[in-house]
Amino acid sequence: MKPVDFENNDYYHFHFSEDVDIEEFSRAVGLKYHMKVEYLDNQHIFFIEKGVLEDEIKEKIENYFGLEKGRNAIDGFNSDKLFYYEKQKLVKRVNRGVIRDDIYFDNEGLYNRRIVKNVVKDSTGDQAVDLREKIKKIKEELNISDPYFDKQWYLFNKDKAGVDINVTGVWLQGIKGKNVTVAIVDDGLDYTNKDLAPNYNANASYNFASKTGDPKPGPSDTHGTKCAGEVAGARNDFCGLGVAYESNISGLRFMPSARSSWLEGEALIYKYDVNHIYSCSWGPADTGNLTQDIFYTTYSAIIKGINQGRNGLGSIYVFGSGNGGYFDNCNYDGYANSPYTITIAAIDAEEKRFIFSEPCPCILASTYSGKRGAYIYTTDVGTTECSIRHTGSSASTPLAAGVIALLLSACPNLTWRDIQALIVETAVPFNPSHPDWDDLPSGRRYNNFFGYGKLDAYRMVEKARTFKTLNPQTMFSTQLIPLNKKFSENGGHITSSFYIHRGYPKHYKFKSLEYVGVSFHYQHQRRGHLEFNITSPSGVTSVLAHRRNRDKHGGSILWTFMTVKHWGESIVGNWTIDVEDKKDENLDGGVFDWQLHFFGESCESEGVPPPSYPFLSRYPTTTPPPDPDATPSPDLDANLQPDSNADSQPPLDPQPPSKPDSNPPSDPSSQQDPDTSLSSNPTSTSSSEPPPPPPPPPPPRPEPQPQPETQPETQPPQPPQPPQSETQPEPEPEPEPEPEPEPEPEPEPEPEPEPQPEPEPETQPEPQPPQPEPEPEPETQPEPQPEPPASPPKLQPEQKPTSMTSSTSTTSSSKTKISTTRKASCTITVFIGPSPTEGVSTGSSASHLSFFEKRHLLLQMILLLFFFLFLGYSF
């Protein structure tokens, strides 16, 4: 790999199609070619001397590929030549074995003010004797002579029953990690240590700093070596045991110095045919004021790993939740909130959360870390060095990697998603008094600090023996859901709902839910003041991110939060977001739009496209029609507030306008259309609310308007329509509501239902020829109604991207339209009647006069009809 010079050059990473001429592109844009990213197809690095504005380069790229102005990599370029590009940065990752904040230290300089002495020794009497007898038998049967094994309480707790990872029962079955290699991606690995040398795999190791196959660290780089001992410390007479003490261990050194993002990606995909699990006890700095996503090259590497690693079964990536404690949230960490990684939280020997452990709904499970009085015993740099100074989520991550190594040793054919599912199904809830436990519809429990519970090696292996491999993963994104609401104008609280009808899972062949992603495009003067939540149709709420008091950054942000809390729930129904501001009158912001992403098991076992990146689509190309058997929601937009406040948009930067498809139009009628595009076809057009109301009036008017003066002549040809009213008796009363002027016609439709059965024979073509026929025409509304959505061309272009919006007139009328189909179209006109001219581009003042005249004539004819009927009955 060529050396880089970030001091004098700017580097850009591009992902092209195969047919792009690299030399021609380089000349046209003015970028110099640096190298091909060898481990990724059709991806290249270019550079240019510092001083050239990024906007200048962007414009040249847009002109070369003919890109739509204003698009960016996150939105997607809509190009079949350029898939992605981004400016590169030197990335600095920090290990998570160091607690840096003073509030977590006691007076003696040790982390965690709650110092616990002999914390694990609370068993008494016979129970304590039984546990001590049991560990003696385990040591004899497994021939364990490691001096520190008795002190490794997290492997077998002889003083407090159950406070461990329950691993010895797996060892007694002969499952100790054989044939599995765990890569420690870190600051190096001292393979000369007596506890690591027997299990070291040199063929799967590499030093990305020195460009050699020797991952040995510097004297002060001890972090990776400590992590390695927890996984694969050998059974001997030295130090202690690793969780999978017969597994192989490799070292991939790319820390501690800053590296390019493509180097980080290479480390996470190195020898993925040999390395099965990548243990990553590092991440962005846990300062509580960062939102740091994964770079494209790194994410592309992870995607390739889960698609091709382990001969197609998928590489396993294990990350810690982080050490930012109360001040941070792991949903702002792109590694922790990825659906393709396993995020592990840290708990102590009392099965309480460490105060430095970050919460978020991306945590799958928890396992142990060390502190004073309950240490983690592992290896250290040096041939005969051991350590008890290992803590943070850095210590819990390799314990989880070791448990997964045992799982793969017992059941090597498990896929990367099988492992995630097994963790969800077998994790053991603990510390029941903790207030954040929620009972789920699945019968499981979830906690933002602990995930689904603590890892239990024995339960996982036993469950895996009968586990049926999951079908491949499928995913889909909804369209954008525009809001354009300010916190100051909504009481500091912005809510919105989106209805997933049954057509979605059917169209995308979506069998079972695993991860839910929620993208927010928002703006605030201090983003740390915001809390984000989402509630599923089952009533389960995920706190996507709590407030971060240290995050004082402002501006326009586009960020995707993830949650595993809804694993196994139905996706059908209303999904409701709730964004709450801290309500500082001097600081304001708002939400432009939001979007849902669903990841889960496919209904099909073959032919499912593999995951690709970018895996989130802000502009999906299709909107599935509702399933014919689906029951539309009567309250699709019941929780949405009007979007007519387009004028009250927060003072946002140019980013929103730069996204033409996501621009929330200020015209109410144009805001209505996105709804139609969202629910799209037949039934869901009725749920798209605003557009349907305007269309119904036009169909009747274009026809009568050319004929108003010759109405008597036009009416005779329309007696054929009364027979239609025989099939639908209701249309006759509805024509009267159709005038829509006042509630006057409404009382009259009420008597009409009684005569309707008799008018059905409708032998009165003579009295009704003069007037009723203009009104029967509204009866034809059900037929033209499918056409209106397509009739106003101006309403459709932006539909697909902007998807559903909480539009102004989507409250009561929406419910009627959803609950009924063609008949509802007539009744809906009653609700929109007070503003007959709104949204209607056809017609004139003369046509309105003729319309009202027709109404009066119609009323007279109805009275005549009743009179004749009365005479008929009396005779």
Q: Are 481 and 595 in contact (CB under 8 A)?
A: yes
C-alpha–C-alpha distance, residues 551 and 636, integer Å: 35
C-alpha–C-alpha distance, residues 75 and 61, integer Å: 16
Q: Are 250 and 189 in contact (CB under 8 A)?
A: yes
Q: For the CA atoms of the chain, what is the radius of gyration? A: 33
Say whether 263 sits in a helix, a strand or coil.
Answer: helix
Q: Which of 10, 186, 190, 418 is catalytic?
A: 186
DSSP state of 611: P
User: 650, 655, 695, 690: which is closest to 670 by C-alpha?
Assistant: 690
Measure the N-to-C terminal CA separation of the chain; round to a whole number of Å.
Answer: 104
User: Using CA of residue 680, residue 684, residue 685, residue 687, what is the dihedral sign?
Assistant: negative
Q: Which of 13, 34, 44, 223 is catalytic?
A: 223
Phi/psi of residue 76, nearest 5 degrees: 100, 140
User: 729, 738, 778, 731: which is closest to 756 by C-alpha?
Assistant: 729
User: 198, 147, 151: which is closest to 177 by C-alpha?
Assistant: 198
Q: Are 768 and 719 in contact (CB under 8 A)?
A: yes
**Pairing verdict, β 32-36 and 43-49:** antiparallel
Look up tokens 């928002």; give the residue. 522
User: 186, 263, 187, 258: which is closest to 221 by C-alpha?
Assistant: 187
Amino acid present at 546: H
Beta bridge partners of 183: 250, 278
C-alpha–C-alpha distance, residues 526 and 584, integer Å: 10
Q: Reading across the β-sheet that carries 32-36, which strands appear in turn?
A: 32-36, 43-49, 9-16, 82-87
Residue ranges of the alpha helices (H) in 502-563? 503-507
Look up tokens 């099939």; give the residue. 727
Angle at 772 between CA 770 and CA 773, to 5 degrees: 85
> What tokens does 579 get?
């964004």
Say whether 787 sits in a helix, a strand or coil.
Answer: coil
User: Using CA of residue 221, residue 222, residue 227, residue 228, what is the dihedral sign?
Assistant: positive
C-alpha–C-alpha distance, residues 26 and 234, integer Å: 53
Angle at 316 between CA 437 and CA 221, to 5 degrees: 95
DSSP state of 249: E
Buried b (16+ CB within 10 A) or exposed e, 206-226: bbbbeeeeebbbeeebbbbbb
Half-sphere exposure of 210 (CA within 13 A, CB side): 14
C-alpha–C-alpha distance, residues 809 and 821, integer Å: 18
Length of the chain, in residues: 875
User: 142, 133, 205: which is closest to 176 by C-alpha?
Assistant: 142
C-alpha–C-alpha distance, residues 88 and 279, integer Å: 25
Amino acid present at 519: S
C-alpha–C-alpha distance, residues 374 and 355, integer Å: 16
Active site residue 546: no
C-alpha–C-alpha distance, residues 822 and 824, integer Å: 5
Q: Which of 394, 396, 497, 680 is catalytic?
A: 394
Residue ranges of the alpha helices (H) in 532-597? none
Say whether 457 sits in a helix, a strand or coil.
Answer: helix
* Secondary structure tally for the chain: helices H, strands E: 20, 28
Active site residue 223: yes
Q: Are 103 and 641 in contact (CB under 8 A)?
A: no
Beta bridge partners of 387: 378
Q: Could you give the residue numbers annotated as active site?
A: 186, 223, 394
